[in-house]
Structure 1
Amino acid sequence: MGIETVSDYDDGFELLKTLDSRIGEYVYQRKINYDPDHCQYFHRRPNKNQEGYCHRCADVCPTFGVGKDDSLMELIFSKIDCIGCGNCVNVCPSGSLQRDGYDKEAIVEIAKLYKNKTPVVMDFDTFETLEEFDFYSCIPLLLPQVNLLNEMYLMTLIQESGSEIIIFTKNPSENLLESIKLVNNIYDCIHNIKPIHITEEIKALSDLCDTLKPNKNLSYTYAQNQREALRDIFAQRLMFLIKNNDYGIVKNTQTSHYGEIIINQNTCTLCMSCVGACNVKSLSSNASNFSLQFNPSSCTTCGYCVDSCPENAISLDLYGISLSPSWFENKTMAQDKMFECIECSKPFATTKSIEKIKSIMLPIFKDDTAKIRSLECCPDCKVKVMFEKNIEAFI
């Protein structure tokens, strides 16, 4: 039925007449597909403000197409209200939101069709206004809405086509402009070019179509996995550009969120709560050397691990992207020795975690030698020590 403001009508009858004219059958197409597996909001604890850690999709939605329920920590989608603007797809850091028919797999397959051609990216409606336009050697690449393109999609179009690209639109979103800025800054650092050109002027479009040519140095094909997270795909494409070189740091734009976590090794007990909190596998544990590993290229900087740490040992540094090989490697953030049970010598915990527990429990246990000894025992031997104490009490 839509939303109307009463004050816009002279009387109630006129308002009812307008609403009555809209009664009928409507067909609504699903425009957005949602996969909660990597979603940074779905079923997570609320933060200190009782909100989710990431709800950018709901924040940028200009209608009621995407909303959120903080009591259930679930996103709400409305086919009726969604206008297919693409803003939610652009800002989703994990790729949980995809445009129906134009997901990340479809985009890469479309881009491959433009190999050694210069794509002119525009939406369907814009293309209809260019009936007699001469694209020269360039070829139009049509999307439902260009604003869905984020840095991963943009880099895919450049590398799979092997060419600089043109985006022709009169209504670019702020997020699209910032994504373009980020990718252009990356290429500027590495190749001293800015491969994405955006314009709304016919004359400028004509000049670009006449001058831009494919560039084999930009060409790269990556066989992405269907279940691969957006940041992982972006990292693979970025690795191709960097190779073994170090090009410094590209700072975040106003809407990008790249960086890494900092861990205080003196307070971290390697409880691995942060590993359990991370659903993009940026954080992991290495059982072979009892260490906590972190890969900054996969991190969405959602901050969930920060508040999940019981020791307040984690902080975020949103400095941008490090254009060096180390950005894609697992880093050892904290490491410890395994603590062996004083009864059976079986390793069962880290030394730091045992010391932490002892510092808390010793003042409570005081002179109870059995309980104090149990603090340094594995679960099996802990039962044995306390059982022997109770037996002695009855003898």
Structure 2
Amino acid sequence: MVLGTASLPVATELCRHDVTSYLEALDGVDDVIVGCTQERALFTELAQQKGSVAPLHFVNLRETGGWGAGGKQALPKMAALLAAAALPDPEPVPVVDYRSEGHVLIVGPADRALSWARRLQDQLEVSVLLTGYAHAEMPVERTFPVFSGGQVTIAGWLGAFTAEWRQDNPIDLEVCTRCNACVTACPEQAIGLDYQIDLAKCSSHRDCVKACGAIGAIDFTRGDTRRSTTSDLVFDLSDTPLLGMHQPPQGYFAPGTDVQKQIDESLKLTQMVGEFSKPKFFLYKEKLCAHGRNGQIGCTACIDVCSAEAVSHDGNRIKVNPNLCVGCGACTTECPSGALTYAYPRATDIGLRMQTMLAAYARAGGAQPMLLIHDQENGATLINRLGRAAQAGVQVDGGLSGVPARILPIAVHHTASTGIDVWLAAVAYGAAHMAILTTGSEAPQYMAALKRQMEVAQIILNGMGYAGSHFSLIEAITPQELDVALATLHPAQVPAKIALFHVAAEKRTTLGLAIDHLKSEASAAPEEIVLPAGAPFGEVQVNKQACTLCMSCVGACPEAALADNPDLPQLRFIETNCVQCGLCETTCPEDAITLQPRLLLTNAAKQPTVLNEAQPFHCISCGKPFGTAQMIANMVAKLSQHGAFSGNADRLKMCSDCRVVDMMANRQESTIADLKRH
């Protein structure tokens, strides 16, 4: 199917004799949408040959829409997919650049590492770090550097790797000339053609050192045992990868002992030479971050969930390394304050796509739409496989049904990149179910994070009286598994009136808009909904007997949820601002604060409430109010025996100005008394 500037007939064999319909659509300057992705390369080439300037978009209507048991009812879905395809491309995002000169460090046992070094040395600049020497024989010609050692650590990314290791053998392979003098000189035969000393056999007579002579490759008294080198790429052939994170950095390949995987990864290595770029997947607003204040740690959600170890901190603030970030978006999904937001695509772009698809679906007569979030690679491939299998009539457990007509697929870069703000907005827009498709490649912490977020979102909806299950996390690897999972999804209750707000760039703004709309259309109206620990909403509870109104919590709060009163000793709280980061709890010197997750649905959530207050204590000298009676009493009890106040405890009951005046007056009296004595 082709949509252009004019009404065109439906083409059923577009890539064959109906191709003229496509060429006619290219004559204008308006967007052209091709409802087929199989022949994308052909259609793109035809447009280039024609010299067309019309923006070209592709959308899969077959596997995701028309093919399957529900194909005859899929017209509203097709309308939704076409409407989404017609949207303008999102605004470009900043990019992260890499440069690789093709220098690869091969790490691993000698038999594996040297074999691959010989194969790759004509295509890449090779260095080798040997970590084991069984059945090894050093190359006769020194065509690439060879190091040896243990306790290897790797850090960095494509174009900027650093390897460090402990030189744990007296023979330095990089200096050794393979002259065999040491092999001949050793009476214990502790040195073989691997040119490493078997220290279990060596009796330390040092004949090998004398034989090596001026070369100086053998040193039993090596002082600095740590060595390092840099490389653009790392080919890790260790039995267990040196980098254990779920998402290793780009440029690092660890096939282990699997020969076929070694071959596959080596081919990728040879393609990693030149200049590369990727999107900068995140945006960070430090002023919203609830991680830390004054050395106290609050929220660590982004650090805990990152599978690439791209997020670090200095105690007060976090730092995301864009070179290590792989774009999963889980940190932005978990961030309660919205300090980290996803940029590829932005939440506003996802929101617009959802609104557009749901509106087009409804206009075309569709009812109870459900959304299926999937990634652009594994998820899209699996959906396409399911559509083709359903169309071909593959008989598995009675045959495959394909993607149901009311399920609208939405592709994202990574399935962990959407969270509770986008999901609740989707329900407010009329989505009767939100499913997220995972295909087994996701990190365990991503799965746990998605489940936590779904639990909180479902509790909120059910608490408002919206019946049914609104969220599902689908785990499928085969078309059969996906087919079964999709067949079990059922629409849940949505608002009678569809929301008109747009997903905002700020996470908390979107959450507020979605919750307000859902609340206004809800059948139940409880004052509050109790939420599980870790939810991004809740109250701060204060033990008034312990609280001294020191206001340490106010200074620590990053979201302006806690505030003082400039006119009175009061601790005030705006619940809708609270993200339950816990900074106030960890900062309080009196341990007077506890957190209680909940969603308060009354207007009181947006109004300042007084958590604690006291009558001001008045200076015993000038009468000016400063502090509270309890705070002064605690201070007098703790400091009255201190040398600075011994015998002058009343100064603790004075304001700062009067305290200075009293100190100066006492000093003057002491000076006069001394003069009289002399």
Indicate the TM-score class for this superposition, using the shorter chain for normalisation.
0.7 to 0.9
Following superposition, the deviation at residue 274 of structure 1 comes to 0.5
Selected match of 2:330 from 87, 90, 104? 87
Mapping for residues 100-249 of structure 1, pairs under 5 Å: 100-116=343-359, 117=361, 118=369, 119-125=371-377, 126-127=379-380, 130=383, 136=405, 139-159=408-428, 161-171=429-439, 173-190=447-464, 191-199=466-474, 200=476, 201-202=482-483, 205=486, 212=491, 215-217=494-496, 219-222=498-501, 226=505, 228=506, 230-231=507-508, 233-242=510-519, 245-246=525-526, 249=529
Counterpart in the other structure of 2:669:
392
3-state SS, counterpart of residue 219 of structure 1: coil
Give the aligned partner of residue 302 of structure 2: 57
Offset at residue 265 of structure 1 (A): 0.9
Q: Structure 1 residues 24 and 387, CA, compared in 2 at 3 Å: closer, same or farther?
A: same
Query: Contact 1:6 / 1:15 at 8 angstroms: preserved in 2?
Result: no
Q: Out of 285, 298, 304, which is 2:577 matched to?
A: 298
Q: Percent identity?
A: 21
Kindly provide the CA deviation profile for residues 150-200 of structure 1, in whole angstroms up to 9, marking residues without a partner as x. Answer: 2122112221x2232332513372222332232122212222232234545
1:145 CA drift (Å): 1.8
| Cα offset, 1:273, TM superposition | 0.7
Partner of 1:262: 541
Is the 1:89–1:148 contact (alpha carbons within 8 Å) kept by the matching residues of 2?
yes
Contact 1:41 1:73 in 2 (8 A): yes
- Kindly tell me: are residues 197 and 372 of structure 1, through their superposed partners in 2, closer, same or farther at Cα, counting changes over 3 Å? closer
Q: Does 1:10 align with 2:88?
A: no
Inter-partner Cα distance in structure 2 for 1:363 and 1:382:
17
The Cα shift of 1:98 comes to: 1.7
1:38 Cα deviation after fit: 1.7
Match status 1:96 vs 2:339: yes
8 Å CA contact 2:333, 2:418 repeated in 1: yes
**CA–CA distance in structure 2, aligned partners of residues 9 and 152 of structure 1:** 53
In the TM superposition, what is the alpha-carbon distance from 1:267 to its structure 2 partner? 2.0
CA distance 1:276–1:138, change in 2 (3 Å): same
For 1:109 and 1:158, how far apart are their aligned partners in 2? 14
Q: Which amino acid aligns with 1:170?
A: T
Query: Is this contact kept in 2: 1:296–1:327, CA < 8 A?
Result: yes
* In structure 1, C-alpha distance between the alignment counterparts of 2:519 and 2:509, rounded to whole Å: 15
Q: What do residues 232-259 of structure 1 show as CA deviations (whole Å, max 9, x unaligned)?
A: 6424533443469316544427x64654
1:178 counterpart letter in structure 2 = R
CA distance 1:11–1:143, change in 2 (3 Å): closer
CA positional deviation for 1:102:
2.8
Gaps of 5+ in 2: 1-99, 125-269, 362-368, 388-401, 477-481, 673-678
Change (3 A) 1:265 1:83: same
- Taking the aligned partners of 2:630 and 2:510, their CA distance within structure 1 comes to 36
Classify the secondary structure of the residue corresponding to 2:307. Answer: coil
CA apart distance, 1:284: 1.4
Distance in 2, matches of 1:179 and 1:311, equals 32
CA distance in structure 2 between the partners assigned to 1:249 and 1:288 by the alignment: 34
CA change 1:204–1:23 in 2 (3 A) is closer
AA aligned opposite 2:418: L
Query: Aligned-residue CA RMSD in angstroms?
Result: 3.6
Segments of structure 1 that go 5 or more residues without pairing to the other structure are none
- Structure 2 vs 1, CA of residues 9 and 249 (structure 1 numbering), >3 Å: closer, same or farther? farther
Task: State which of 301, 305, 308 in structure 1 corresponds to 2:587.
Answer: 308
Native 8 Å contact 1:148 1:176 kept in 2: no
Aligned residue pair count: 379
- The one-letter code sitting in structure 1 at the alignment partner of 2:626 is F
Q: Which has the larger radius of gyration?
A: 2
Corresponding position: 1:36 with 2:310: no
Specify whether residues 267 and 8 from structure 1 end up closer, same or farther in structure 2 by C-alpha distance, changes over 3 A only: farther
SS in structure 1 of the partner of residue 632 of structure 2: helix
CA contact (8 A) 1:343 1:377 kept: yes
Q: 1:379 aligned to 2:656?
A: yes
Deviation at 1:277, TM superposition (A): 0.4
Q: For 2:572 and 2:117, locate their aligned partners in 1 and report how far apart those are by CA, in whole Å.
A: 62
Q: 1:26 to 1:303 in 2, by over 3 A?
A: same
What is the CA-CA distance between 1:207 and the residue it aligns to? 7.8
Q: CA deviation at 1:123?
A: 2.7
Whole-angstrom CA distance in 2 between matches of 1:174 and 1:281 = 30
Structure 1 residues 267 and 388, CA gap change in structure 2 (3 angstroms): same
Partner of 2:630: 352
Higher strand share: 2
* CA-CA distance at 1:36 after TM superposition: 1.8
1:272 equivalenced with 2:554 (yes/no):
no
1:186–1:127 CA distance, 2 compared to 1 (3 A): same
Deviation at 1:203, TM superposition (A): 5.7
User: What per-residue deviation string (whole Å, max 9, x for no partner) do you get for residues 32-71 of structure 1?
Assistant: 22222222336x3445xxxx4333323222224x131447
Range moving further from structure 2, 197-206 or 116-125:
197-206
**AA at the equivalent of 2:552:** S
1: distance between equivalents of 2:606 and 2:106? 51
Query: What is the alpha-carbon distance in structure 1 between the residues aligned to residue 623 and residue 302 of structure 2?
Result: 52
Cα deviation for residue 142 of structure 1 reads 2.8
Residue 450 of structure 2 aligns with an amino acid whose one-letter code is L
Task: Give the Cα separation in 2 of the matches to 1:264 and 1:274.
Answer: 13
How far has the Cα of 1:14 moved from its partner? Answer: 0.7
Task: Sort the Cα spacing of 1:114 and 1:353 in 2 relative to 1 into closer, same or farther, 3 A.
Answer: farther
Verify the 8 A CA contact 2:351 2:502 in the aligned structure 1.
Answer: no
